[in-house]
Structure 1
Amino acid sequence: MRFSDESGSSTAEFAVLLPAVAIMLSLALCFGVVGIQQIQVQQAAGAMARELARGEDDATARASGVRLAGNQARFSLSTSNGYSQVHVSKTVRLPIAGSLQVHGQASVAVE
């Protein structure tokens, strides 16, 4: 007596692989979110440094940073040796990986 009936084997294979595929897709989504947040933080740092270099006050530069990076971002502004320097950091909370810090910094010569 031989058992060569393979009906249902693709369903069993799918059931075994589905959790792995779901985890891989979730991780890809998390990396995408971190990438987007990193870009936003870096753009905020660059915009803030340019505004400081043009002679704008700290409040105007911070308003641009909040607009680009969000309210949860932390900003460090300084102007020394003819350069305006900005450091922006933000905590990104992910459902699978937990919390990650993204940082952006920019330095522009003062005009």
Structure 2
Amino acid sequence: MTKQNKKWNNWLLVLAVVVLAAAPVVFIKGAEFSGSDDQAESAIKEIQPEYKPWLKSLIELPSGEVESLMFSVQAAIGAGVIGYVIGLYKGRSEQSKKPNENSD
């Protein structure tokens, strides 16, 4: 596979990810996208209305948008750390395969 083909494949993969992420927002009008925490809370209250949580949140965020932002930042940091570690090990692997230029 040539370098040009790899470049196009990468761009097509990025485009596919963007389309998959944006499609529900574009095509499902008026839908409420709630998290699993909200769904679990409502299911628990349905099953056992007198249930009280063991712990309270340390920080109450002002809105769902801020909560989504914090989740996105957390995901981006995690992806960055994973990408760094993969790149580090890949670089070390490539370095160990390359013959040492300073040796005889």
Same fold, TM-score > 0.5, yes or no: no
Higher relative helix content:
2
TM-score scaled to structure 1, two decimals? 0.35
Q: Give 1 or 2: higher strand fraction.
A: 1
Q: Which has the higher contact order (CA 8 A, sep 6+)?
A: 1
| TM-score (ref. length: structure 2) | 0.37
